[in-house]
Structure 1
Amino acid sequence: MSYTGVLLVDKPRGPSSHQVAAWVGEMLKSSVGHSGTLDPMVSGVLVVMLGKAVRLAPLLLLHEKEYVACLRLHADVPREQVEEAVKQFTGRVYQRPPRRSAVKRALRIRVIHRIELLDMQDRLVLIRVRCEAGTYIRSLCVHIGRVLGCGSQMIELRRTRSGGFSVEDTHTLHEIRDAVERGDRDAIQSMLLPPEEAIMDIPKIVVRPGAADAVSHGAILAGVGVLRCDPFVRGQSVAVVSEEGILIALGEALRDSAKFVCGEPGFVARSTRVFVSPSDANK
């Protein structure tokens, strides 16, 4: 039996994200993918997609992330001074990927939505960072040390949230293995989140059964098939769902939601990834 859904794994330190996802796929005998690569020595939330849920990857890769990081200062600095330096990194920041990174070391801009000092003991500083996907926390820790004028380096990092998924909702590799060895399919299924759980933060277009069938065949969604929708703008990612809340497809909006009336003619969105077969769309 193969599985489809999203599995939140508490990645341990040591293996790469690819290795962890591959182990899950081997245990559950399903095709897998993951979003938001974590370095081998970083732990925390790793979103693993199974079966058709792998098609969610482009969306999940854009999720905001939250991390708790421990950095070591290279000199003694008063806590008040560290707090003031940390606050300076809220907003748009320039970053260059660390030398150990696998991507090209080009200068990039990332947004840090929130950063706070959680604790400080001697030269060890614990911070929590809520940031845009693709932010390099290792580089951030180095830059904090430069602002302080003493230098610093990251010594520990844990991802505590990816989009709406929290570390409290994750499962360890041991828990997954135990369920597999017991042959407990109910336990495994209870760990899986349906694809609908991953699209909570993007606009929904609720469609009629006939439109769901047409979209599942690859047709462009027209307004006559739309029952209701959330606000969206042209070019934005949208989720096409059935009246029962089943994810039919991810798509791209072809016009602003304010510029069409549900039930009237005119193209609304084109599908980019379909999640149900035509037979399932008719159920």
Structure 2
Amino acid sequence: MLKRSVEDLLNFGVVIIDKPKGPTSHQVSAWVRDILHINKTGHAGTLDPKVTGVLPVGLGRATKLINLLHLVPKEYVGVMRFHKDFDENKVREIMKEFEGEIYQVPPLRSAVARRLRKRKVYSIEILDLLDRDVLFRAKVESGTYIRTLCNDIGEAMCIGAHMEDLRRTATGHFREEDAHTLQDLLDAYIFWKENGEEKYIRDIIRPAEDIVSFLPKIIVKDSAVNALAHGAPLYKPGVTEMDNVEKGNYVALYTSDGELISVSIVVLEDNIIAKPFRVVMEPKKF
């Protein structure tokens, strides 16, 4: 992987923010933009103002990639409060029934249309119980509303429940331990700008390639890079190495030194391996 300058990372990087309680995700993304004095940021996976935790924010050209994180699961730790006393064995049994495919209607205050939709709950487990509160961990498909999940579990228990507190602990491969506060980011930026100290800001800003590290990879020949950067399809003779890929799925195209060219869609037709979906490399000569 090429070592980019801090300036290049500001134009093509990602920061994992530990979102505080209070502001909207859009506000946090805007604060990242203002702290770093850049023109464009974008976040992946909106968190309600009261929800804390992992919020990936793409910088500059990385905003083209950030929404691909809707493909990865999200993990949460939360507190669900039941409205009446409950039997512990029954609540464990009921919660287990919500693993797998479920149907949800988004809550009234949501950014999407309130239509019935299917989502997957990969796992939901009880971590602790105290009075009418249940501390739980859930791993879910992107777009699953935990608030709605708590309400539905309460209905299934016939006693009602609501989400009392929630923290996102992971967005795919980005974990809670990867997250930094806005104050951390500001301090690191000041150290770099005023003292020339890069260590702290490099610890926080990750290369944009990290966003799509979960995708299968294709390494392409240097002779094919410029055409791909202009939006051309990838042809079989341009491939150096290729992971196992499936037709219709996303794949990340890289140069031989690990620089991301594009995220493409696998076609495997005739001599064409993939067609571009998001080209992120700026065209240049190799």
2-side partners of 1:269 and 1:229: how far apart? 11
Partner in structure 1 of residue 15 of structure 2: 7
2-side partners of 1:5 and 1:97: how far apart? 31
SS class of match (2:71): coil
Partner in structure 2 of residue 70 of structure 1: 79
Q: Which runs of 5+ in 1 are unaligned?
A: 257-264
1-side partners of 2:94 and 2:49: how far apart? 29
1:24 deviates by 0.4
2-side partners of 1:119 and 1:201: how far apart? 32
Correspondent of 1:267 among 245, 263, 272? 272
SS class of match (2:65): helix
The 5-angstrom pairing of residues 80-95 of structure 1 reads 80-95=89-104
1:228 deviates by 1.6
Correspondent of 2:36 among 28, 36, 51? 28
1:247 correspondence with 2:260: yes
Correspondent of 1:40 among 43, 46, 49? 49
Aligned residues: 273
2-side partners of 1:43 and 1:187: how far apart? 23
Report the TM-score, using the length of structure 1 for normalisation: 0.93
The 5-angstrom pairing of residues 140-219 of structure 1 reads 140-182=149-191, 183=193, 184-219=197-232
User: What residue identity is the alignment partner of 1:35?
Assistant: A
User: What residue identity is the alignment partner of 2:276?
Assistant: S
1-side partners of 2:200 and 2:61: how far apart? 20
SS class of match (1:255): strand
1:68 deviates by 0.7
Q: Matched residues, percent identical?
A: 43
2-side partners of 1:211 and 1:102: how far apart? 41
Partner in structure 2 of residue 17 of structure 1: 25
1:57 deviates by 2.4
SS class of match (2:110): coil
Contact 2:75 2:138 in 1 (8 A): yes
Q: Report the aligned-residue RMSD.
A: 1.5
Residues 107-143 of structure 1, C-alpha deviation per residue, up to 9 Å, x if partnerless?
1110001110111001000111101000000000011
Correspondent of 2:119 among 106, 110, 133? 110
1:63 deviates by 2.0
Higher relative contact order (CA 8 A, sep 6+): 2
Q: Which runs of 5+ in 2 are unaligned?
A: 1-6
